[in-house]
Chain A
Amino acid sequence: MPNQSPQVLVAEEEQRLNGGPVINDFSIQVATVNGSGSQSSNTVLMRSIFQMGIPVSGKNLFPSNIAGLPTWFTIRANRDGWIARRKEIDFLVAMNPETAREDVMNLDPNRVVVYEETLKLDQYRRDLAFFPVPFAKLATEITPDSRLRKLLANMIYVGVVSELLEIDPAETETALTKQFKGKAKAVALNKTALDIGSKFAKQTFDRTVVPYKCQRMNATKGKIIIDGNSAAALGCMFAGVTVATWYPITPSSSLCETLADYMKEYRIEKDGKANFAIVQAEDELAAVGMAIGAGWAGARSMTSTAGPGISLMQEFIGLGYYAEIPTVIFDITRVGPSTGLPTRTQQSDILSLAYASHGDTKHIVLVPASVEECFQMAYDAFDLAERFQTPVFVMSDLDLGMNNWMADPFKYPKEKFDRGKVLSADDLKRLGSFRRYADVDGDGIPYRTLPGTNHPAASYFTRGSGHNENAAYSERPDDYKRNMERLNKKYETARQHVPPPEIQYATGAKIGFLGFGTSHWAIIESLDQLQREYDTSVSYYRLRAVPFTKHLAEFFERHDRVYVVEQNRDGQMGMLIKLELPAELARKLRSIRHYSGIPIDARFVTDALLAAEKGGQN
């Protein structure tokens, strides 16, 4: 493998910084305390850059607390469209006295710091460009209200940063107006703060010394910015969800909350009545129980939660699997356990979803990587749940669910809903009878009827596994076994219906990456780094669902080593893959694992791959 020395890289980076300003390729980090109201300001800043046509992504690193603990919001602007997290910070806005020193010490040389003057951060480093701003003092010019002053200080930094980075003031104003839409007073106040910030920067600083600049491009036209949970909520709404039951938990709460907002707008009928029910349950056991009850009675039902909720739902999930009841369960994953770091991201519920519950169970899990897929897979999940009469999971994560992502507008789903094998009273009139658990079509999927069906042959009794094909009570070993085998067949059928992987075979590549979910963004950037910096071609398999499809073995066959990239300690997806592959293919599996709770970045993937390849290829 060709190698490039670290020195070459450093030289490149210096050139990047010395040879004129870097255009549209930098990260801004705003360090504040949570509860200080910085979220709107950060959104305005991010949107302003986006509106200049520059690809952006925003990530919020926040504490599990309502007010007073450190929060970092990072905006990455990248002209090439890379939107994964980038480790290095180029432009720091230090607003939090508690972390300011460490924030400054962590920067690479020649970076920029905008900070509250009184923090005197310039005493710590000589190799950074410092821009002190008297935020508190400037805010007193706007209002005597001290709480409001704190909020407005945030908009002042947006003004300062915009000026220094040459963000078009018209775009900042548009973004601000959008942010405070319909609240004229807030728009006016914030506009004043914004202007004070940019005026101060203009008068005080020489912006030509700032090595980063925004320059208008045309890469975001027609794009939207949305978080994964809102995207999933939209997917559910357009999938015609009628019953959503949930219990609040970070990072999933915003899914059902946003759903409720949208449904109130788009799913109220002419007579003012709702064609849906959204219920905040008393806990996750109840939330999933209601979803299963509703699914049994024929509604398109769903619940959303995070790992701790999944743990509580285990018993019901098993019942749903055995009793063959459709429902959709969103798991917006975070690190474990409940009393852990609930606001940090991870892909660590893979095994607990794939085999959720007790007994012989295995499930369909859809794994979106983008907000577009959050929308599409949320939509697909309802079709799959009803087609396969089983709980279907959509596994997103905190990074995807709660952060803002750029995307193409979602496509309207034009196809007819797949409501699965449901027999109506008319069907029964024609057929005379039905056998609830018989495999009539040879695909393992039986027919069902809904309660309320007006036909004497419609009714059946639903219980876990103690039944024969007629749904009559049975403890006979042969009945049990036959049923379990049919359930297995159903799972096998599902392989042809779940979203297939996206595969890039690099010409001549001997090695491949296998990734899924949000790791995708770091992997594709890493592929580019490996190609450009090390002249190394790597194939890429992006897994989009469990159960796996036939493509998996083929990918392993065509490579010497496959690196499964995932954001958990134990390599859970790797384990799942090893269970399925024949031993000679499983031997090719390698693992790259990132599990600090912070989103994975491309450099980490690149470095890990290179180290592994260097360390011996057996």
Chain B
Amino acid sequence: MSLTTQQPPAAAPKNVNRLGLTMADYKGAESTLCAGCGHDAITSQIIKAFYEYGVEPHRVAKLSGIGCSSKTPAYFLSKSHGFNGVHGRMPAIATGVMLANKSLISIGVSGDGDTASIGMGQFVHLLRRNVPMIYIIENNGVYGLTKGQFSATADLGSKAKSGVMNDLPAIDVCTMAIELGCNFVARSFAGDPKQMVALLKAALGHRGTAVFDVISPCVTFNNHEGSTKSYKYAKDHEELLHEISFVPFFEQITVDYSDGETSDVELHDGSHIRLRKTDKGYDPTNKGEALDTLRKCQELNEFLTGLIYINEMKPDFLTLLNMTDEPLATLPQERVQPKEDDLREIMAELM
């Protein structure tokens, strides 16, 4: 089965999205990162994805921990509130934000140090709870901001700029995320903007934690010969699962059964992702296959990119808490303060 898309009849004017906003409306402050840093490439795709999807900027909360990667929320969506938290603890902040206002769209940006070392505990529990948010790991295998120490995602045998070899195994955040019950796990590469945009939009359509691991080379500390997170190494060892395109809920889809090479997954918000198979007919809704494929690739020193696992059937944390529909933050006093009679009743019980 395959799908093709059609634009809505009244074509929107050029250079604005369905909200009438331009790409510039999604930009942020000037980046202060090193020229060529993978993180900046990701920032550009976030801007593009949010623009094309037509996300209302005021509904977005940009959250991060600490690191070069965690600085980037300042560089996109300046019309959204942002919160640069403490190192490795963005998940807690994100959880609190979403509890306070469930109508927000949270996007968290973290690094491999921020997530897989100091923040591992919080990351694990974020996934376990399935708090609705996009969680991006800008993965460069080093601590960029503290000048190049190995992180826990550095591959075994990867060489530091100083020549020191990493002799500990890497933590694979995608494998871990799937095992912890995460229902949207994707990986991409900062050098593949097209794939990144499609996956980011897919993440926007998902309800629950969407983990997006992006190999994002650190040009200053980890882009040399012997590094396994350099642009060159990543290009040479990328294993593409499928070609991916995204059909937003506000565009029409027509089904074309003639093409057996694509498959389609419907997202929570009614959008679709269309996967064009590479040679192996990968099914991202099959958890066992996802874990198997990840493991096989690791053994071959390759890294998988694409939508690795997706499950649109699982409830998110806020649904489980059975919270009222409006944001808790702005409920009026009459609704959150019990009545005088209630206090009287409680007091009588205690007499």
16 contacts between A and B (CB under 8 A): A237-B338, A243-B99, A273-B322, A282-B124, A286-B89, A286-B122, A291-B96, A293-B63, A295-B100, A297-B100, A299-B328, A323-B83, A410-B343, A412-B344, A451-B58, A451-B81
A277-B321, A282-B125 as given contacts; A243 in contact with B82, CB under 8 Å: no
**Cβ-defined contact, B330 with A298, below 8 A:** yes
The A-contacting residues of B in range 332-351, CB under 8 angstroms, are: 333, 335-338, 340, 342-344, 346-347, 350-351
Our count of residue pairs bridging A and B at CB distance below 8 angstroms stands at 226
Contacts of A412 in B (CB 8 A): 340, 343-344
Cα of A226 to Cα of B343 in the assembled complex, Å: 14
10 new A-B contacts, CB < 8 A, other than A290-B92, A298-B330, A452-B327, are: A275-B324, A275-B335, A286-B125, A290-B99, A293-B92, A298-B329, A299-B99, A459-B78, A459-B81, A461-B82
**Cβ-defined contact, A452 with B59, below 8 A:** yes
- Please tell me if A289 contacts chain B, counting CB pairs below 8 Å: yes
Contacts of B61 in A (CB 8 A): 297, 451-452
Cα of A74 to Cα of B73 in the assembled complex, Å: 57
**How many whole Å from A254's CB to the nearest CB in chain B?**
15
Cα of A482 to Cα of B29 in the assembled complex, Å: 23
- Determine, out of A99-107, A184-192, A261-269, the stretch whose residues face the partner at the interface: A261-269
**How many whole Å from B351's CB to the nearest CB in chain A?**
5
- Please tell me if B84 contacts chain A, counting CB pairs below 8 Å: yes
**Cβ-defined contact, A462 with B323, below 8 A:** no
Nearest A-chain residue to B28, judged by Cβ: A461
Nearest B-chain residue to A417, judged by Cβ: B333
A275-B328, A297-B100 as given contacts; A451 in contact with B80, CB under 8 Å: yes
- Please tell me if A460 contacts chain B, counting CB pairs below 8 Å: yes
**How many whole Å from A431's CB to the nearest CB in chain B?**
16
- Please tell me if B271 contacts chain A, counting CB pairs below 8 Å: no
Interface residues of A (CB under 8 A from B): 222-226, 234, 237-243, 245, 262, 266-267, 269, 271-277, 279, 281-283, 285-301, 315-316, 319, 323, 409-410, 412-413, 416-417, 449-456, 458-464, 472-473
**How many whole Å from B117's CB to the nearest CB in chain A?**
14
Contacts of B335 in A (CB 8 A): 269, 275
**How many whole Å from A603's CB to the nearest CB in chain B?**
30
Interface 1/0s, chain B 49-74, versus A by CB < 8 A?
00000001111110100000000011
Among A409, A412, A451, find the residue whose CB has the most chain B CB atoms closer than 10 A.
A451
**Cβ-defined contact, B346 with A243, below 8 A:** no
**How many whole Å from A546's CB to the nearest CB in chain B?**
24
- Please tell me if B145 contacts chain A, counting CB pairs below 8 Å: no
- Please tell me if B148 contacts chain A, counting CB pairs below 8 Å: no
**Cβ-defined contact, B86 with A299, below 8 A:** no
Interface 1/0s, chain B 304-339, versus A by CB < 8 A?
000000000000001001111101111101011110
Cα of A272 to Cα of B324 in the assembled complex, Å: 8
**Cβ-defined contact, B84 with A299, below 8 A:** no
- Please tell me if B93 contacts chain A, counting CB pairs below 8 Å: yes
Cα of A452 to Cα of B97 in the assembled complex, Å: 11
**Cβ-defined contact, B95 with A293, below 8 A:** yes
Cα of A322 to Cα of B121 in the assembled complex, Å: 25
- Please tell me if B226 contacts chain A, counting CB pairs below 8 Å: no
**How many whole Å from A423's CB to the nearest CB in chain B?**
13
- Please tell me if B113 contacts chain A, counting CB pairs below 8 Å: no
**Cβ-defined contact, B329 with A459, below 8 A:** no
Nearest A-chain residue to B330, judged by Cβ: A298
The A-contacting residues of B in range 126-157, CB under 8 angstroms, are: none
**How many whole Å from B158's CB to the nearest CB in chain A?**
30
Contacts of A222 in B (CB 8 A): 351
Cα of A274 to Cα of B94 in the assembled complex, Å: 20
**Cβ-defined contact, B329 with A299, below 8 A:** yes
**How many whole Å from B266's CB to the nearest CB in chain A?**
27
Interface 1/0s, chain B 93-127, versus A by CB < 8 A?
11111011101100000000000000001101100
**Cβ-defined contact, B328 with A242, below 8 A:** yes
